[in-house]
């Protein structure tokens, strides 16, 4: 059941540095005993992490990203988080780096599980900072949106929480994923992210939710709320917001082919334009993975 989650959370991984949170700064710093350095000041660890992150595509030869480069970024982000455990900025960037490491480098199954277990830990830490000690447990989406509406990073952090819970579930047994409520977590975090910051990561929240509705299995007592047509609508909206994003284009092609047979010709045209595309600067690894999948689908449909 949960093998579909990897396909749901396609992420492009662009750079998203934002202003620090605008509320409760002094209280949070005192609460967790953070050093007196202001969040806006870049520590040596954070500077090193960002430099390593920007080098994540260096040496990429078309198959896997080099693990040492993104590993260095993750290590420096972890150091930055130890220095400033209340920094939502560091949480966001660490989650993004962990996703890249677990998705685009060659690792064993155990290593991938460990990365996304860490991702869930970091995302839960971010939720506690945003929403209080209880995090998002038993909270309604509307309440979470209202509570975090004034925080410029909340949408991004809910987006990455959806991603990491989805990837965690994909690397666990079906029963473990069911017990943890992965599908509902993915849906709710994605919905909060969409309402707060729909353009984050190139319309990432719409891309994620659209893919989920398009392909997730419908289990009456677990995912009975899945709606295929809703998936198509969300992906079409995502394409309008971020027409250059290759992952949105591929997901929409697949949704059209599955759900709207009358759009087959349009789907093939969109797919053809995608396989002729080149990776965007700065996203060479992420886009190459998508273009590889697009080319495979194009061949499967009988085209060269």
- The CATH number assigned to the domain holding 24 equals 1.25.40.10
Position 179 in a domain: yes
Q: Which residue positions in the chain have pLDDT lower than 70?
A: 1-41
Long-range contacts (CB closer than 8 Å, 24 or more residues apart) made by 257-265: 258/214, 258/228, 259/214, 259/228, 259/229, 259/231, 259/232, 260/232
| Range of the structural domain that residue 205 is part of | 4-220
Position 38 in a domain: yes
Determine how many CB atoms are found less than 10 A away from the CB of residue 165: 28
- Name residue 105's beta-bridge partners: 65
Is pTM beyond 0.85? Reply is yes
The count of structural domains within the chain is 1
Position 52 in a domain: yes
Position 272 in a domain: no
Task: Give the pLDDT confidence score for residue 292 in this predicted structure.
Answer: 97
What phi, psi does 65 have (nearest 5°)?
A: -70, 155
Position 243 in a domain: no
Position 279 in a domain: no
Position 191 in a domain: yes
Task: Give the pLDDT confidence score for residue 42 in this predicted structure.
Answer: 82
User: From the DSSP assignment, how many helices (H) and strands (E) are in the chain?
Assistant: 15, 0
Position 26 in a domain: yes
């Amino acid at each position: 059941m949960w093998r579909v989650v990897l396909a749901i959370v396609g992420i492009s991984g662009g750079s998203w540095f934002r202003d620090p949170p605008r509320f409760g700064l002094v209280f949070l710093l005192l609460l967790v005993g953070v050093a007196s350095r202001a969040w806006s000041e870049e520590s040596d660890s954070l500077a090193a992490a960002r430099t390593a992150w920007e080098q994540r595509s260096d040496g990429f030869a078309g198959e896997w990203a080099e693990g040492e480069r993104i590993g260095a970024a993750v290590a420096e982000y972890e150091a930055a988080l130890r220095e400033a455990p209340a920094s939502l900025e560091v949480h966001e960037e660490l989650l993004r780096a962990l996703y890249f490491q677990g998705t685009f480098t060659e690792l064993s199954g155990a290593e991938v599980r460990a990365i996304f277990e860490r991702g869930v830990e970091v995302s839960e830490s971010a939720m506690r900072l945003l929403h209080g000690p209880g995090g998002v447990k038993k909270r309604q989406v509307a309440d979470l949106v209202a509570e975090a509406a004034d925080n410029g990073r909340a949408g991004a952090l809910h987006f990455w929480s959806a991603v990491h819970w989805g990837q965690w579930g994909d690397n666990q047994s079906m029963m473990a994923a069911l017990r943890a409520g992965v599908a509902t977590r993915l849906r709710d975090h994605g919905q909060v992210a969409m309402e707060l910051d729909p353009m984050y990561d190139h319309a990432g929240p719409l891309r994620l939710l659209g893919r989920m509705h398009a392909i997730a299995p419908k289990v009456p007592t677990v995912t009975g709320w899945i709606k295929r047509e809703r998936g198509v609508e969300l992906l079409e909206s995502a394409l309008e917001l971020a027409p250059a994003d290759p992952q949105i284009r591929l997901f929409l092609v697949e949704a059209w082919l599955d759900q709207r047979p009358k759009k087959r010709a349009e789907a093939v045209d969109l797919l053809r334009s995608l396989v002729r595309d080149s990776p965007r600067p700065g996203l060479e690894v992420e886009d190459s993975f998508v273009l590889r999948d697009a080319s495979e689908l194009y061949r499967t449909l009988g085209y060269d």
